[in-house]
Amino acid sequence: MNAGDERAHPAGGDDWWEAWQLDVASADGVGVAVLLACAPARGIAWWWTHVILPDRPGPIVVRDHEVPLPRVGLEVRADGLWGELVCETPFEHWTYGLEAFGVALDGPSDSLRGEIGERLPVGCDLEWEVDAADAARREHGDGAVRGYEQFGVVHGEVLLGRSRVEIDAVGRRVHAWGVPAWDQCVVEYWARRAGGAASAIVDALPAAAPLGSFVVPIETPDGRRAVLTRTLCRYGTADEIGWSSVFDPE
């Protein structure tokens, strides 16, 4: 992988997707998940932002599956949505901006019933920086999908209506491209030790205590339905925090 791999890759056919993802996990139980996924042959992009708060039973959701593709860089605009991902320094520093309207749900499963809830402005101004103690890029791929992940620290703020949530957290970013296997069930998780200047990967995760979750209904390109469930978790001791993810095609 080189610095050019941080940018968008040439599309490799009608089923090609490319995605940039940021997961944020705070020791105080705040979670933020941002996704920009582009399907060039279909002329659309997906934008997701999900916010988990310790005092709310359901997530705050910004989700649009019919966003026009970015015209410049990784900036997207749609009705009630502006979002931008900026690579400040390849593999070292990214920024994430959002101005949109979202919905505060009473529970995670409300996403499966039309995402009806309180509408409110949602904004993000986040910075991800690589963890100097663990700057390695972990490459992955099975031929059909390639990519890499990095761990780091995230600082900034999330705006929810008139409220401001300060973020000081651990974070993982993922960049992947290729042809996804939409018919396969996928389970994954990650965790970091929160707090301090450096954080280490937790290789063997003990039992998880869920702190909050969100659910995304997905219609796959071949017309089938699937559900993605992501959960902010505390693993084992109080300083190990991260996300679990289950993609379940029907």
Mean pLDDT of 25-42: 95
Domain that holds residue 126: 12-183
Angle (CA) 157 165 69, round 5°:
50
For residue range 80-133, what is the model confidence (pLDDT) as tens digits?
Answer: 999 999 999 999 999 999 999 999 999 999 999 888 999 999 999 999 999 877
Cβ atoms of 159 and 8 within 8 Å: the answer is no
The CATH number of whichever domain residue 168 belongs to comes to: 2.40.370
Distance in Å from the first CA to the final CA of the chain = 35
- The answer to whether position 213 is within a domain reads no
Cβ atoms of 19 and 107 within 8 Å: the answer is no
Q: What is the dihedral of CA 197, 202, 207, 212, to 10 degrees?
A: 50
For residue range 62-75, what is the model confidence (pLDDT) as tens digits?
Answer: 999 999 999 999 99
Alpha-carbon torsion (94, 152, 178, 146), positive or negative: positive
Counted domains in the chain: 1
- The answer to whether position 140 is within a domain reads yes
- The answer to whether position 37 is within a domain reads yes
Question: What is the C-alpha separation between 47 and 165, in angstroms, rounded?
Answer: 21
- The answer to whether position 141 is within a domain reads yes
- The answer to whether position 172 is within a domain reads yes
For residue range 213-239, what is the model confidence (pLDDT) as tens digits?
Answer: 999 999 988 888 999 999 999 887 657
- The answer to whether position 4 is within a domain reads no
Mean confidence (pLDDT) of the chain: 90
- The answer to whether position 201 is within a domain reads no
- The answer to whether position 40 is within a domain reads yes
Question: What is the C-alpha separation between 46 and 35, in angstroms, rounded?
Answer: 8
For residue range 156-192, what is the model confidence (pLDDT) as tens digits?
Answer: 999 999 999 999 999 999 999 999 989 899 888 888 8
Predicted TM-score (pTM) above 0.85 = yes
Mean pLDDT of 27-32: 94
